[in-house]
Chain A
């Protein structure tokens, strides 16, 4: 089966610009996650969707970050305006169900550099 798809793979922007990332989860997976991985750190959850509803966005900087999953399938994460500290890899993951033991499948990530 096809894995989690993400695009673009790399993006370089200047601070105060906007950027958007796209994710297509594994077919049939109801739960979708966006993580931020800063260099030298483990991934940190930004937002979690169950179908097209938000389950957890407690660590999403809502003044500049937004995310949507309108049809319960693919999702976009936007940053506007970007700051230098947003430089990171943005990982999308999906899982079949929203249980504590369910395996999450990760995409290859989008590497963002903010200059």
Chain B
């Protein structure tokens, strides 16, 4: 079945550091890929998405490229801020299962001054 594997957290970085959160997936078809973010005390929000191979999703300085050959969708940001502290979830939607989202376990990011 479909699955998403994310790097274990927590990830602790100093402000302005470079961020990478690894995400790999297993799917039977050609899924759409998503990053959702959950800020403390808030609901899940879509951060970015990519719907086909080699697409790059981007938002708020975050980027992720859909790599079909390595089945990966790593999240990157060049310079993190304290306000980026949150839990980040990688997810996929397999067209064979309509719009059902399969999530990874989440990676907590803590950014310090």
Show the binding face of A for B, using Cβ within 8 Å.
3-4, 31, 33, 35, 40-45, 48, 55-56, 91, 93, 95, 97-109
Contacts and interface: CB of A to CB of B under 8 A. Distances in A.
A44 B43 contact: no
Given A100-B31, A100-B94, A100-B95, A43 B45 contact: no
Contacts of B101: 33, 35, 43, 45, 104
Interface of B: 4, 31-32, 36, 42-46, 49, 51, 89, 91, 93-95, 97-106
Contacts of B46: 103-105
Given A42-B4, A100-B31, A101-B93, A48 B44 contact: no
B43 A56 contact: no
B98 A48 contact: yes
Nearest to A109: B43
Nearest to A44: B103
A108 B38 CA distance: 10
B32 A101 contact: yes
Contacts of A45: 100-102
Contact of A43 (B42, B44, B95, B98): B44
A100 B103 contact: no
B91 A42 contact: yes
B57 to A, nearest CB: 11
B43 A91 contact: yes
Most chain B beta carbons < 10 A, residue from A42, A55, A106: A42
Most chain A beta carbons < 10 A, residue from B91, B97, B101: B101
Given A98-B98, A102-B99, A107 B43 contact: yes
Contacts of B45: 106
Contacts of A102: 99
